[in-house]
Structure 1
Amino acid sequence: MDWSNDFAPLSLSSSDTLPDLMLTHLSSWGVVTLVGNDAKSYLQGQVTCDVVQLEKTDSTFGAHCDAKGKVWSVFRLFHHNDGYALFEPKSLIEKQLAEIKKYAIFSKVEIAQSQDVLLGLFGKDAEAVIDSLSPERGDVRPIEGGSAVKIDQQRWLLVLEQSHAISFIDNSIAEKVEQSLWRRFDIEAALPIIEQNEQCEHIPQALNLQALDGISFKKGCYTGQETVARAKYRGINKRAMFIVKGHTANELDEDLDLERAVGENWRGAGKLIASYRFSDGETMGLVVLPNNLESDTQLRLSSQPDSIWSIQPLPYSLDDE
């Protein structure tokens, strides 16, 4: 029996209550690992976050950029086994891995795509389960077969060697759900998600990385730093990521282009970089828009012009300190 087939879609309307404990296989996500004596210093020179200051019990957002400051990947970084792990959408990894390996020949570091299984445990009972797996406390914990990483108040990521993952799935009392529900929580929390088709399209601030402590403006040099610093100190960034909501007649596949109202006309605004649709048609998404738009600006999908979308409040502030 294939354990990966155990996870079924959970049909939810926008008003339904969620189960207290859910488990999903994050098959569209992956992990890049860095191991070796130079892993810390090498990574420090490649990404926007401060690797040197990262405690073993914490995780942090970060971005890996090209020389122009455009994002190859947005990830969650944490200590894993004997090195570091970058948790990110799997579609990014092929290009990003090639880029982050470019100068590794000069350092004692091994960089690879992990073969670990990624599980998401979530719901109000999730933390109690994690507490039972490890005597340690903190947002990142070593557990048998891998690591547990806190995403938010009700979500934990498990990065496990396959045999331990299968054992955990077999013994879990959690309702096994399809991974799209995990994306719903990412959207509600306005956590940046980019896939392969968005690589090298945005600078980190356009994805709100500065508001999520994913950029250190005090660390040393890293690839793309000049652009990222100019965006902060010269105010050159004119875009930000927003939550939007509307109604759709069907699941969104390719119909992701949004338009915004300009007087009586409509102009291209941006493309949904992530979306989640409830069974009653209510749909939410993330989109990068001009950061000076009025909060009551009307939006619509170009493919479904009869349904008006709106910009929703972010759960964090975009104001600079």
Structure 2
Amino acid sequence: MSWQSEFPSLTITENDTLPKLTVSHLVSWGAITVTGDDKKSYLQGQLTCDVVSLPEDQSTLGAHCDAKGKAWTIFRLFSHQDGYAMLQPLSAIEKELTEIKKYAVFSKVTIEESQGVLLGIMGEEADTYIDTLSEDTGHVRKIENGTAVKISDQRWLLLVNEESARNIVETADAVKAHEALWSMADILQGLPIVNQDAQNEYIPQAFNLQALGGISFSKGCYTGQEMVARAKYRGINKRAMYIVKGKLTASITEGSSVEIERSVGENWRKAGTLLAHYQYADGCVIGLIVLPNNLEQETNLRACSEPESIWTIQPLPYSISDE
């Protein structure tokens, strides 16, 4: 049996204690790598984040936008081998790769989809385990045949070659878990997940990127910068990303979407589609969705598929205020 098929779904509820160490094969995620003499200056002129000031041992969230400020992708940028890697949902890469390479012919850069394997390491023993892979101490560490990136407390991403990935999976004293567990953590932490269906729909602030350190308002020009800056200084952004929670009696099948409505007086109006979701064993569902940013916290929501079940907006673990 291949090591790649050994990641079962964990049967948990939202109140269950998670294993002390889990490893997941992140098959729904990918990365774009950027190498070459002009890699830093090229990305600086394309992305919302400040690439020039990013230390090698740190990562940052960021967006790549079109000229109107609409995000092609939300990514995590970090130093990887002899260049940079941009972690993002795999479904977004095809379009993003075309867009990010548009002006590469004028610079000394090579931009391509990474062939590396992505693993997610989670749990209270995650830091201790990563220490066994590297003597470095930063949030971005060189490891054998790849890179380890700290995403949050008790959570690390590994971008390695297949040989190293197989060795880690087979030798780590960790519970093997389906990648849905990784998505659950992203949702609970309010980290944007922009798949193919959400590309080129919203400006970065609609995904709370300004609150997550993914937009520099002092770095200078980049594609879409005028619109992104206008949204901040003229207050024209009317949307934000929220965590929502509800319950569904039916299981959400892989690849399906969840449509949400919001209450408007006595009526209901379409609110949007969940960017990402996780369903616990008891049917409880958490998800991310872009909504008007002036909604009251008490606004009722519901899934179109099961309108009898009321959903609620959950507190974000950070402030989205521009103040």
TM class by smaller structure: over 0.9
C-alpha contact (below 8 Å) 1:245/1:312 kept by paired residues: yes
Q: CA RMSD in A?
A: 0.8
Indicate the residue corresponding to 1:163 in structure 2: 163
Indicate the residue corresponding to 2:294 in structure 1: 292
* Deviation of the 1:51 alpha carbon: 0.2
Tell me the amino acid that sits aligned with residue 95 of structure 2.
K
Cα deviation code 1:186-212 (max 9, x no counterpart): 000000001101110010000000000
Alignment of 1:3-22 (within 5 A): 3-22=3-22
Gaps of 5+ in 1: none
Is residue 2:120 matched to residue 1:120?
A: yes
Indicate the residue corresponding to 2:268 in structure 1: 266
Indicate the residue corresponding to 2:200 in structure 1: 200
Tell me the amino acid that sits aligned with residue 275 of structure 1.
H
How far apart in 2 are the matches of 1:150 and 1:170? 22
* Deviation of the 1:214 alpha carbon: 0.2
Give the length in aligned residue pairs. 321
Alignment of 1:49-60 (within 5 A): 49-60=49-60
* Deviation of the 1:134 alpha carbon: 1.0
> What SS does the aligned partner of 2:275 have?
strand
* Deviation of the 1:161 alpha carbon: 1.1
C-alpha contact (below 8 Å) 1:255/1:301 kept by paired residues: no
Indicate the residue corresponding to 1:219 in structure 2: 219
Cα deviation code 1:100-141 (max 9, x no counterpart): 001101110000000000000100000000011111101000
Gaps of 5+ in 2: none
Indicate the residue corresponding to 2:259 in structure 1: 257
Tell me the amino acid that sits aligned with residue 249 of structure 1.
T
Tell me the amino acid that sits aligned with residue 174 of structure 1.
A
Indicate the residue corresponding to 2:174 in structure 1: 174
C-alpha contact (below 8 Å) 1:255/1:303 kept by paired residues: no
Indicate the residue corresponding to 2:109 in structure 1: 109
Indicate the residue corresponding to 1:65 in structure 2: 65
Tell me the amino acid that sits aligned with residue 259 of structure 1.
E
Tell me the amino acid that sits aligned with residue 99 of structure 2.
E
TM-score (norm 1): 0.99
Alignment identity in percent? 59
Deviates more, 1:38-47 or 1:266-275: 266-275
How far apart in 2 are the matches of 1:128 and 1:309? 38
Tell me the amino acid that sits aligned with residue 84 of structure 1.
Y
4+ runs deviating over 3 angstroms: none
How far apart in 2 are the matches of 1:316 and 1:14? 20
How far apart in 2 are the matches of 1:261 and 1:77? 38
Cα deviation code 1:85-105 (max 9, x no counterpart): 000000000000011001101
* Deviation of the 1:220 alpha carbon: 1.4
> What SS does the aligned partner of 1:30 have?
strand
How far apart in 2 are the matches of 1:99 and 1:313? 34
